[in-house]
Structure 1
């Protein structure tokens, strides 16, 4: 069996249909790219079809312009029984200069499912480097914080 793929990078050019009324790539297009990269990463790790369970902490740091070369980097930073926490970073640059700058970052949780849509077990990811361990621990802290936020959010769904 092949070793699961922990990370993936999608690269493409920002197109005119991705632009908002302000002339920059709109956030919805960036979120779509993030979801696509998260799926590719999760499917590569699990070897299964995966669905998005959560997307959060998204920060739009810098705008993306039409014609920019966009890179969406995704990597597994924590696994559960069927879930994968994926850290994502979006960078963009003028393709002539290749001066990359961070535009967006966030965390997405994907869940591997079988042909009936039921959760299915995935391989465990074990951090090896100091940076991996730091991200792994941070993902665990964020998971606890999301539980608290979820409890607070109940007021809006009742």
Structure 2
């Protein structure tokens, strides 16, 4: 059980660099999204033991800007599994490393699917919530999945209508 809990999450930690900034002098949202994808992939691959592909990213919230020189930590953790999919909650915190005070700067839910060498989906180990927070995050992931599926159906219906 402990091994499974350890494989369930990971932290990426690094300093925001000058090459990461946008014209406003803050870290570019695209750079943050790249970091999310990297952390999510590492978490999914660690959990499944397979190569994984990003299926979706949802609920991205940029709460506060990240500044050059701040220590950035992305915590990625499995919060729901399907047969071949893994829903990963990513929380981003940042702050001045000299002050040891980190604040949340954003979060999202990402879905990855494990695949074999030919690119076909493979089954992943099942994950079950253990704590109150686990149950809340799993509920959030399931609601995000259901909402995305509903929006996809609406879009497909609208696009298939003849004018």
Name the TM tier (shorter chain).
over 0.9
Q: Report deviation, 1:138.
A: 2.2
**C-alpha distance in structure 2 between counterparts of 1:123 and 1:3, whole Å:** 13
Match of 1:101 among 103, 107, 110: 103
Matches within 5 A, 1:3-152: 3-4=3-4, 5-152=7-154
Q: Report deviation, 1:91.
A: 0.5
Q: Report deviation, 1:79.
A: 0.2
**C-alpha distance in structure 1 between counterparts of 2:140 and 2:34, whole Å:** 24
Per-residue deviation, residues 29-74 of structure 1 (Å, max 9, x unmatched): 0000000000010011101110100001101100000011000000
**C-alpha distance in structure 2 between counterparts of 1:141 and 1:68, whole Å:** 33
1:88 is paired with a residue whose SS is: strand
Q: Report deviation, 1:156.
A: 6.0
TM-score (norm 2): 0.91
Q: Select between 133-142 and 56-65 the one with higher mean Cα deviation.
A: 133-142
- Kindly indicate whether the alpha-carbon contact (under 8 Å) linking 2:59 and 2:144 is maintained by their aligned counterparts in 1: no
Q: Which runs of 5+ in 1 are unaligned?
A: none
CA gap of 1:157–1:97, structure 2 versus 1, over 3 A, is: farther
2:42 is paired with a residue whose SS is: helix
CA RMSD between the two structures: 1.6
Matched positions, count: 157
Runs of 4+ in structure 1 off by over 2 angstroms are 152-158
